């Protein structure tokens, strides 16, 4: 049976490795035998997104459109027509992003 310490170590190792892969890419061997670094495959990004979602880890970048929308929606004043249009555009962008769905 896994102990809490072992599970914590596994989680730390997994998150560290995913962070490295997403930041630095992955090495692949070309047909000519050269080793090159490429962007990580979508499967790595999906695993990272699922790990964050499963652990209810969220973050909103400062001064981002998402932060401004969240702050505006928390206020009691109704949205202006422009703010509403911007929120619809943001929702469409989020819904079309495969890593967020």
One domain, residues 20 and 35 = yes
Radius of gyration of the chain from its Cα atoms, rounded to whole angstroms = 19
One domain, residues 40 and 17 = yes
Q: Which residue has the higher pLDDT, 26 or 72?
A: 26
> Which range marks the domain in which residue 25 is found?
1-58
Q: Which residue has the higher pLDDT, 89 or 50?
A: 50
CA distances from 99 to 21, 42, 53 (A): 16, 9, 11
> Can you give the pTM of this predicted structure?
0.56
Domain assignment present for residue 101? The answer is: no
The DSSP secondary-structure symbol of 55 reads T
One domain, residues 16 and 46 = yes
Domain assignment present for residue 51? The answer is: yes
- Per residue in 5-16, pLDDT tens? 999 999 999 999
pLDDT at 82: 84
Domain assignment present for residue 79? The answer is: yes
What is the arithmetic mean of pLDDT over 52-60?
83
Residue 75 has pLDDT above 90, yes or no: no
């Amino acid at each position: 049976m896994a102990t809490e310490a072992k599970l914590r170590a596994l989680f730390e190792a997994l998150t560290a490795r995913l962070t490295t892969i997403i930041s630095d890419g992955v090495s692949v061997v070309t047909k000519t035998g050269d080793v090159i670094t490429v962007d990580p495959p979508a499967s790595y990004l999906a695993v990272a997104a699922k790990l964050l979602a499963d652990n209810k880890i969220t973050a909103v970048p400062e001064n981002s459109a998402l932060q401004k929308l969240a702050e505006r929606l928390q206020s009691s004043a109704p949205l202006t027509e422009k703010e509403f249009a911007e929120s619809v555009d943001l929702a469409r962008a989020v819904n079309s992003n495969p890593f967020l769905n």
